[in-house]
Amino acid sequence: MRGGGLVSQMVATLAFSILLYGGLNAYASYLGYVYNVQSRDVTLGFLDYELGGGIRAVFLVSIILAIAFILSLYLFLNKTRLGISIRATVENSSLAESMGINTKLVKAISWFLAGGIASAAGSLYPLQFVFSPTLAYSILLSIFAASVLGGLMSLFGGFIGGFIEGFIEKYIMAELSIYLSPVIGVSPFVINQYSTLVPLIVVAAVLLIAPNGIMGIRVK
């Protein structure tokens, strides 16, 4: 929204996302009814392959890609003129603009960078998990929890927080459901459905213990 404040832009972004999801779901329904194509709850796991020792290719590729992105972003934000302009705009937009930085262009580039990185991550997601047009809403809380856990103002904090939160939500909960299944008499699948509570617990714990996240903890 041109000329709008932060709140106005957030509301406009939310409205646009609802419109976009509506269009995606309408298109998914069209593919299903007209062409009999399954476009919801789809997985591309059959395209993945095992490297050996139970390690899947997507696991190795995702780690390499994450490290490459985090290092590239660090160098970009600290060693290039555009990257420094982005940091200056984030820290103090008015001061950056007074120094001659085109803050509107910087913000637009930042949005494109964020969208590109998210797209790269999204391209790997269906190789391991089931995806659908409404996937973003289901993982939004997990992404927010990972950011809070690592530290909202830290680049490496987001990487560390994402790894820890994902490990707890996907691996620990899966193993815990197997052990608890015979104890409480329900299937592991039912127990694992409560893994969506993990992000809420993580956010609550971090805000109580370390509001600035892991990277904000000062060791004395």
pLDDT in tens, 83-104: 999 989 888 888 888 888 898 8
Residue 26 exposed, middle or buried by CB count within 10 Å (0-12, 13-18, 19+) = exposed
Question: Whole-prediction pTM value?
Answer: 0.77
- Cβ contact 151:206 at 8 Å: no
Mean pLDDT value across residues 24-40 = 86
> Which residue matches tokens 């580039």?
109
What pLDDT, on the 0 to 100 scale, is given for residue 85? 92
What pLDDT, on the 0 to 100 scale, is given for residue 68? 92
Phi and psi of 58, rounded to 5°?
A: -65, -30
What pLDDT, on the 0 to 100 scale, is given for residue 84? 92
- Cβ contact 19:26 at 8 Å: no
Domains of the chain, residue spans: 1-40, 44-132, 133-220
pLDDT higher than 60, residue 176: yes
Of the listed ranges 10-24, 91-105, 154-168, the least confidently predicted one is: 10-24
Phi and psi of 152, rounded to 5°?
A: -65, -25
- Cβ contact 139:162 at 8 Å: no
For residue 42, what is the DSSP state? B
